[in-house]
Each structure stands twice: as structure tokens, then as C-alpha cells.
Amino acid sequence: MKIQINTDHTIEGHEALAAHVSGVVEDALSQLGDHVSHVEVHLADEDGAHHKSGENDMRCMMEAHIEGYHPLAVTAHADSLHKSVVSAADKLARVIESTLDRLHDHKHRRDALIPSEETPEETLESPQSRQPG
């Protein structure tokens, strides 16, 4: 799973931050990694002044790309980058798990509705094609 980290102009995107964020994401998605091709992480300080941290002004948006499905995105706000990253990663794991469960259930329901090859032909005939006998 590839993890891409983007920051706004108020957050320095240094290697330690990238390693930390990647570790949090990998840990949160460890059980789901086979289904996720890549994750984009967007970090921002919404009040625009990183040195004056306000309440819940640090935003982390994560977008996961799952093969054969549209991207799934979550956003978390907190008073620190670390808290917003952990919160977003947890939310993302729950959303992916829920989505995969729904897709799995839907596939099984669809497969159950497809007639098997062993179904007798007479059950597949329309009522109009039957002759009274």
C-alpha cells in the first residue's frame, strides 16, 4: 500500500512527520491492506498559524483507493496533528471495513439470485410457452 502525504504551507512536511503518519496509517489499516492500493493524506492547520494552535484547528483528510471501487474519504479535526491523524486513520479503517462488508454481502446476495446450471429447463420457461396437457 502506497501512502502519499500532502501538507499545507503552514506545516513542514519533513521526513519524521511522513514516517509518523505512514506508521499510523499502516497500523490502522494493517488488516485491510490487501484491499487498499494507496492512501492520500492531507494535513492542514485551518487557522493558518501553526504556532498558535487553537481548539480542533488541525485537520487530517484521508482518502483510500480500493481496487474496483470509488475512493473513500474521511476527515478529522483535533488540537494536534497527531490526534487528527490517529482519529482519521481509525475512521478510515471503519469506513473501509464497513464498505468491504457491504460489497461482500451484496456479491453473495447477487450470486444467490443467479440460477445454477443444474436448474431444469422447465422451471426457466415462461408461463406462456407451456401447453396445457
Domain for residue 133, yes or no? no
Domain for residue 125, yes or no? no
pLDDT of residue 123: 45
User: Domain residues for 50?
Assistant: 2-114
pLDDT digits (tens, 9 = 90+) for 4-15: 999 998 888 788
pLDDT digits (tens, 9 = 90+) for 25-44: 999 999 987 889 999 999 99
pLDDT for 94 beyond 70:
yes
Number of separate domains in the chain: 1
pLDDT of residue 14: 84
pTM (2 d.p.): 0.74
Domain for residue 56, yes or no? yes
Burial class of residue 63 (count of CB atoms within 10 Å of its CB; 0-12, 13-18, 19+)? middle
